[in-house]
Amino acid sequence: QTFAQSPARTMPPPGGVDAVIVGAGFAGMYMLHRLRGLGLSAVVFEQGTDVGGTWYWNRYPGARCDVESMQYSYSFSPELQQDWQWSERFSAQPEILRYAQHVADRLDLRRDIRFETRVTSARFDEAANRWTVTTDRGETVTARHCVMATGCLSSARLPDIAGLEGFQGATYHTGHWPHEGVDFAGKRVAVIGTGSSAIQAIPVIARQAAHLTVFQRTPNFSIPSRNAPMDAEYEGWWKSDYEAHRAKARMMRTGILYGLNEKSALEVTPAERQAEYEARWARGGTAFMASFADLITNRDANDTAADFVRDKIRGLVKDPAVAEILAPKGYPIGTKRICVDTDYFETFNRANVTLVDVRDAPIEAITARGVRTRHGEVEVDAIVFATGFDAMTGALTRIDIRGRGGLGLAEKWEDGPRTYLGLMTAGFPNLFMITGPGSPSVLSNMIVSIEQHVDWLADCFAHLRARGLETIEATREAEDQWVGHVNEVADRTLYPAANSWYMGANIPGKPRVFMPYIGGVGAYREKCAEIAAQGYPGFRLA
Ligand code: FAD
């Protein structure tokens, strides 16, 4: 019935708009709301049939947020955050999607969103100082500003495995899950990949399927979620002073309010260390990585946490050989996205689940009937690709974006993304990215980061308008300095030690650059605010 409320498709106004927004996830939705508040006209293009972005597309079984419900929501409206009630400690995808739909209804957002419309190109017209945006429906609209709210994890990636097209069973990607759901009862299923999505989906699929075979290349560290129905007292604590709690969260390194232990893992006794890890393991969730202050900067400290989790895995998985395959080695804990699960490791104790170590037996081909490795063919009825995304840059470089002198964004970023503050890139005036590379984005509670970027942009648009200015553009020098700073901060951590999607390592040929900014959400927020307050140094305003 939500879809039925969507207004009839109307063409964008012929004279153009103040802003085009690409994407109607949490970023695009809030950007539209803020632009309306400024009295600016905007049109949003979205490929899906409704709002929600990530939570619209990723409908795989077990899909759930790793940030607690009380924190993974908009904070801009006191009424909204008081009225909405989350049913669980960590929300499942259907509930987050309902929340996004509720916000769209409440703010009447859909009348300015053109659904089922993919933006194919955006070109800057230097004479007019305007962007011309073209869609796959052949529509063209001109806009003063172009806001890319295209998502960091929205460009799903299928591996290049020979024979895929000849497979006679069903195939799925977790990031493009059928809306009607999939019934795996009685089916032999393969899951390829063991990242965050797989770790959520595998326990649920294992309970349905006749047999599940998991193909793992790189094992991942995962912490139990200890998910539970929402505790009324906890909800009450948040809602009793939501604004103050949110304000604290905004200044945290990850944008999440949780207890950060300021001590080094190496300054406490082994017993104290064990007790800290045990307590956080029992509490569940990503706050495990805040057990000590130096887990992400000191390899010896990190090893203590990694050893703890490996021991837990060995305790949970009955077959020691399987446990060893599942126990991550060779990269520091937390340097690939830390996972949060419900019964993931225990699932490998089930009689109907088999683990295939692809490092030992690489997938040679998909055949008509299944998956073939060096050790033979595994016959399956369905293959689930949990193979992730072309993260952070994929959704942007898929669009033919051309700035000054016809320079293509994909071309400019050939050796890795270059931005100033993750908000703009030199040579592309009035083109903005929400949670772009070079900002904390995927290392944070993303709704916190989205709100910060959108608020900064709204202030920036108001500033330009008040001064009768038409364009804002990052300078090359500011961009170079920022990229240098982003790299320097990353190099002080253990992050570059892992082949992660943060580094582009999951995409063959993608340059190895640590893309998000690890300097912390709070520090980054202050930096952005300071730049705005000083009249936007590092940007050219005209
Ligand atoms: P998205 O939600 O990705 O929305 C972008 C939208 O842009 C999409 O709907 C897409 O269709 C549209 N789009 C892209 N390109 C085009 C185009 N050319 N034309 C038209 N439309 C286009 N974050 C957290 O903070 N905590 C979590 O626990 C967490 N869990 C996650 C789990 C999964 C499985 C995934 C995939 C992501 C998760 N994230 C999590 C990150 C999540 O993406 C963000 O939290 C947030 O939803 C991003 O919102 P967004 O609006 O920026 O992007």
pLDDT tens, N- to C-terminus, the chain (542 residues): 233 334 444 555 667 999 999 999 999 999 999 999 999 999 999 999 999 999 999 999 999 999 999 999 999 999 999 999 999 999 999 999 999 999 999 999 999 999 999 999 999 999 999 999 999 999 999 999 999 999 999 999 998 899 999 999 999 999 999 999 999 999 999 999 999 999 999 999 999 999 999 999 999 999 999 999 999 999 999 999 999 999 999 999 999 999 899 999 999 999 999 999 999 999 999 999 999 999 999 999 999 999 999 999 999 999 999 999 999 999 999 999 999 999 999 999 999 999 999 999 999 999 999 999 999 999 999 999 999 999 999 999 999 999 999 999 999 999 999 999 999 999 999 999 999 999 999 999 999 999 999 999 999 999 999 999 999 999 999 999 999 999 999 999 999 989 898 989 888 889 888 999 999 999 999 999 999 999 999 999 99
* Residue 314 Cα to ligand 1 middle (Å): 34
C-alpha 245 – ligand 1 centre gap (Å): 25
- What b/e readout covers 267-294, taking b as 16+ CB neighbours within 10 angstroms? ebeeeebeebbeebbeebbbbbbbbbbb
* CB-CB contact of 148 with 23 (8 Å): yes
Q: Does residue 71's CB lie within 6 angstroms of at least one atom of ligand 1?
A: no
Residue of 97, 446, 452, 501 to test ligand 1 pocket, by largest number of atoms within 8 Å of CB = 446
ipTM: 0.99
* Ligand 1 atom nearest to CA at 51: 9
Check the CA dihedral 290-295-297-301 and report its sign. positive
Please give the number of the atom of ligand 1 that sits closest to the Cα of 25: 51
Mutate to test the pocket of ligand 1, among 26, 47, 54, 289 (most ligand atoms within 8 A of CB): 54
Ligand 1 and 53: CB distance under 6 A? yes
Phi, psi values for residue 11, rounded to 5°: -75, 150
What distance in Å separates the CA atoms of residue 421 and residue 473, rounded to the nearest whole number? 12
Q: What are phi and psi of 112, to 5 degrees?
A: -110, 10
Ligand 1 centre to CA of 410 (Å) is: 20
| 386, 198 contact by CB (below 8 A) | yes
Backbone angles phi, psi at 368, to 5 degrees: -60, -30
Cβ–ligand 1 contact at 118 (below 6 Å): yes
Residue 61 has φ and ψ, to the nearest 5°, of -60, 135
CA of 319 to the centre of ligand 1 (A): 37
**Residue from 101, 113, 154, 200 whose mutation best tests the ligand 1 pocket (most atoms within 8 A of CB):** 154
Ligand 1 touching residue 31 (CB < 6 A): no
Q: Indicate the pTM of the whole model.
A: 0.96
Handedness of CA 366, 368, 373, 378 (dihedral sign): positive
* Residue owning the nearest CA to atom 12 of ligand 1: 23
Contact 57, 173 (CB under 8 A): no
Rounded Cα distance between 518 and 487, Å, is: 9
> From the CB of residue 488, how many other CB atoms can be counted at a distance below 10 Å?
10
Expressed in angstroms and rounded, the spacing between residue 396 Cα and the centre of ligand 1 is 13
- Nearest C-alpha neighbor of 119 from the set 395, 530, 421, 306: 395
Q: Are 316 and 346 in contact (CB under 8 A)?
A: yes
Instruction: Assess whether the C-beta atom of 47 lies below 6 angstroms from ligand 1.
Output: yes
Residue 392 CA, ligand 1 centroid: distance in Å: 10
